[in-house]
Amino acid sequence: MRRDTEIHMRGGVITERESDYCTIRTRVPAGVVTPAQLRGIAGIAEKYGSPYVHLTTRQTVELPRMNPENLAEIAREMAENDTPIGSERDEVVNIISCPGNERCVFANVDSISLAREIDRRLFGREMPVKVRIAISGCPNACTSPMLNEIGVIGRTEPIRIPGLCTGCGTCMQYCKEGAIAIKGGVSVLDPSKCVQCGTCVRSCPFHLLKSTGPHFLIVVGGRRGRHPAIGRELITVRDPNLAALVVEKVVQWVYRRAWSGRLLSEQLDDIQFEKFREEIRSQIPVEEPELPGEDQSR
Ligand code: SF4
Ligand code: SF4
Ligand code: SF4
């Protein structure tokens, strides 16, 4: 059987259990496809004999049961459709994102735009270990950013303006964390319980809860699979370009310093996470003015 070896070696071409066939995984940053792209994918699937398409856990579209002899033509048509062959091996794989502030009422940040920017900078880069990146617009964390090698979470930290609170209790009712109490006729925040979802800021009918604006918490070293682990907090930044830069610096670190065959989270333990965190932080410009509470999360 004739195979296009160069294309077949790509991470997005996966040999199936029945090895005469392969599955083709696409590059779909943030899992967003236009109706026209969907029609294009459907047309390619029908033309080359896929009985169905598979929507994956990493927000990509897979075309199963593809004949390897057709790989060159399929690759060309997928690229023309702007849904090129993706990645799956030890690479930066499809960047996933929730709807973020484009549609979700809970969102603090534009997670889709950040996913596209990270995709533009890093997608498909070959690595010693697979690097999964997930972005969520708020601490509800619908894309499980804490369970990816790199996760980004949009947050908003509340600040109450002293002296103005009426003690109406609306913010307390909206807070799902029990982080707000009414004491002495005013709302009092317990930062140790607050997850910085920003809901209370939006709930105050008198607009007395403020924040310095939404920001991005970047977490590193999470994983799913056989031995799940929660990612650890690396840094907090407000500028989306800095968030993308942090992710890029972490990926560069992994490319240069990590080695294959060992989970990234374990490697971060080996080198001591604090040292890793300081190394990354030293490469990120300091934002002014600093976020309230930033010292705790950076
Ligand atoms: S993570 Fe937050 S912003 Fe994103 S979809 Fe879930 S609730 Fe909405
Ligand atoms: S930001 Fe969220 S968790 Fe924190 S106090 Fe407000 S509602 Fe509660
Ligand atoms: S909703 Fe506003 S006014 Fe009411 S208790 Fe909370 S901060 Fe005070």
pLDDT tens digits, 55-89: 999 999 999 999 999 999 999 999 999 999 998 88
Which one of the ligands is nearest to 189 CA?
2
* Least confident stretch, 33-42, 261-270, 289-298: 289-298
Cα-to-centroid distance, 184 and ligand 3 (Å): 13
Cα-to-centroid distance, 176 and ligand 2 (Å): 7
- Helix, coil or strand: residue 75: helix
Provide residues with CB under 6 Å of ligand 1.
98-100, 104, 106-107, 136-138, 140-142
Average pLDDT over every residue of 157-165: 85
Pocket test for ligand 2, best of 159, 195, 203, 297 (most atoms within 8 A of CB): 195
> What's the pLDDT tens digit per position in 239-252?
999 999 999 999 99
Q: Which long-range contacts (CB under 8 A, 24 or more apart) does 289-297 make?
A: 289/212, 291/157, 291/212, 291/215, 291/236, 291/238, 292/157, 292/159, 292/212, 293/157, 293/191, 294/236, 297/217, 297/233, 297/235, 297/236
> What residue's CA is closest to ligand 2, atom 8?
175
Share of the chain above pLDDT 70, in %: 93
CA 136 to ligand 1: nearest atom: 1
Measured distance CA(252)–CA(191) in Å, rounded: 34
Cα-to-centroid distance, 195 and ligand 1 (Å): 14
Q: How confident is the model at residue 9 (pLDDT cuts 50, 70, 90)?
A: low
Cα-to-centroid distance, 62 and ligand 3 (Å): 49
Higher-pLDDT residue of 12 and 122 is 122
> What residue's CA is closest to ligand 1, atom 6?
142
Cα-to-centroid distance, 234 and ligand 2 (Å): 21
Cα-to-centroid distance, 176 and ligand 3 (Å): 15
> What residue's CA is closest to ligand 2, atom 4?
194
> What's the pLDDT tens digit per position in 251-292?
999 999 898 888 888 888 888 899 999 999 999 999 876 544
Q: Is the CB of 164 under 6 A from ligand 3?
A: no
Please report the pLDDT score of residue 254 as a whole number: 94
Average pLDDT, rounded, for the chain? 91
Pocket test for ligand 2, best of 160, 165, 177, 291 (most atoms within 8 A of CB): 177
Please report the pLDDT score of residue 4 as a whole number: 58
The answer to whether the Cα torsion of 98, 122, 223, 267 is positive or negative is negative
Cα-to-centroid distance, 78 and ligand 2 (Å): 44
> What's the pLDDT tens digit per position in 87-130?
888 999 999 999 999 999 999 999 999 999 999 999 988 999 99
Please report the pLDDT score of residue 161 as a whole number: 79
Which one of the ligands is nearest to 156 CA?
2
Please report the pLDDT score of residue 3 as a whole number: 53
Share of the chain above pLDDT 90, in %: 80
Please report the pLDDT score of residue 21 as a whole number: 94
Phi, psi of 253 (to 5 degrees): -60, -45
> What residue's CA is closest to ligand 3, atom 4?
168
Average pLDDT over every residue of 154-172: 91
Domains, the chain, with CATH or none: 5-80 (3.30.70.3340), 96-156+213-297 (3.30.413.10), 159-210 (3.30.70.20)
Whether the pLDDT of residue 136 is over 90: the answer is yes
- pTM, two decimals, is 0.92
CA 190 to ligand 2: nearest atom: 5
- Token pair belonging to 70: 């057709």
